[in-house]
């Protein structure tokens, strides 16, 4: 591969995930839009809501790893070198961050206005 072509990543993810790719893209777009809506409406980040979202994000990281193991038909014992473990960490981190943003948005949109104490 002599040049970087981002469309190759799309085709690889589309082949691996199938329709799940579009569900994940829709969740990402909805989560970011919801987060920006909550942030613009309230003007700041609510720390209590953020901690709750971060706790849910831990489970989201694990869910991303489970999805990775199912999609690739391999397990964590197949990770051989440092790059494999770096990829496992990146997948967990992306799952954590995505779930945190999505849960924060859902909590902010369904919980009403923030109450300052």
Q: Is the residue at 59 inside a domain?
A: yes
Over pLDDT 70: what percentage of the chain? 90
Q: Is the residue at 84 inside a domain?
A: yes
Q: Is the residue at 1 inside a domain?
A: no
Check if the beta carbon of residue 98 is closer than 8 Å to that of residue 60.
yes
Q: Is the residue at 117 inside a domain?
A: no
Q: What is the pLDDT of residues 80-92, one digit of tens each?
A: 778 878 888 898 9
Please tell me the total count of domains within the chain: 1
Q: Is the residue at 32 inside a domain?
A: yes
Q: Hey, which of 35-39, 64-68, 69-73 has the most confident mean pLDDT?
A: 35-39
What range does the domain containing 76 cover? 6-110
pTM assigned to the model:
0.80
Q: Is the residue at 87 inside a domain?
A: yes
SS3 18: coil
Q: Is the residue at 115 inside a domain?
A: no
Q: Is the pLDDT of residue 29 over 80?
A: yes
């Amino acid at each position: 591969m002599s040049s970087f072509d981002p469309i190759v990543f799309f085709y690889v993810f589309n082949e691996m995930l199938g329709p799940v790719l579009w569900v994940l893209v829709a969740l990402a777009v909805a989560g970011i839009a919801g987060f920006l809506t909550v942030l613009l409406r309230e003007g700041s980040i609510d720390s209590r809501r953020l901690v709750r979202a971060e706790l849910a994000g831990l489970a989201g990281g694990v869910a991303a790893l489970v999805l990775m193991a199912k999609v690739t038909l391999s397990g964590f014992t197949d990770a051989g070198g440092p790059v494999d473990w770096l990829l496992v960490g990146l997948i967990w981190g992306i799952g954590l961050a995505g779930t945190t943003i999505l849960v924060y948005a859902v909590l902010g949109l369904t919980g009403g206005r923030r109450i300052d104490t």
